[in-house]
Amino acid sequence: MDTESPAGHSPKADLRATLLAARARLDPAALAQADARRTARLLARLHRVHADVVACYVSQGTEPGTAELLDDLLDAGVAILLPHLAHLTPPAWAWWSGEPLVAGAGGIPTPVTPPQPATVLGQADVIIVPGLAGSRAGVRLGRGGGWYDRALVHARPGAPRWLLLYDDEVVDDLPAAEHDQPVTDLVTPGGWITPGRTTAR
């Protein structure tokens, strides 16, 4: 749970509102270019790590796009896990091989294939997660529901967790709670940042 300020506002909630407003102002053409550059980085890295199973999210609106990435993963024969969101709790996943998606909780696209327990995430070689910002220390700021923080506790130890962002969403510091799950890499159109290592461009 976010810590409340004396005014009754959560610092995280205020930051989320600012970041969402900035995304809403992004030009569609610029979004498409940013997604293409980020996806090229992701595919190049996935080719190097030889991932057989990738857990990913289905992007909506101005979220860093995953549609092209998912298509390319399918074409490459990679097994894909997507969040199964018929209900938000407890976290569940589903194997996806290109079937049409349906509206799940909150209107979020979700697979029609049977839900799998949260522990299936332990099979993922790479986990690609959404967020609104990330710090250079690997702290992720999500939308506030805590779904990914609950889900990621079931990830295999050492499995990379890649957070997709826009360039200006990488910050020096973010507030973090004990239950917040860290990420291993921040992936933007302009670079690849691994906390504790040199930024890759």
* pLDDT tens, residue by residue, 110-161: 999 999 999 999 999 999 999 999 999 999 999 888 899 999 999 999 999 9
Question: Is pLDDT at 19 greater than 80 in this prediction?
Answer: yes
Q: Walk me through the domains of the chain, giving residue ranges and CATH numbers.
A: 11-193 (3.40.50.10420)
Nearest to 162 by CA among 23, 68, 51: 51
**178: β partners:** none
The model's pLDDT over 177-199, given as tens digits with 9 standing for 90+, comes to 878 899 999 999 999 999 877 45
The model's pLDDT over 46-80, given as tens digits with 9 standing for 90+, comes to 999 999 999 999 999 999 999 999 999 999 999 99
- Residue 4 banded pLDDT, cuts 50, 70, 90: very low
CA distance 138 to 154: 18
**DSSP for 18-60?**
HHHHHHHTS-HHHHHHHHHHHHHHHHHHHHHHT-SEEE-----
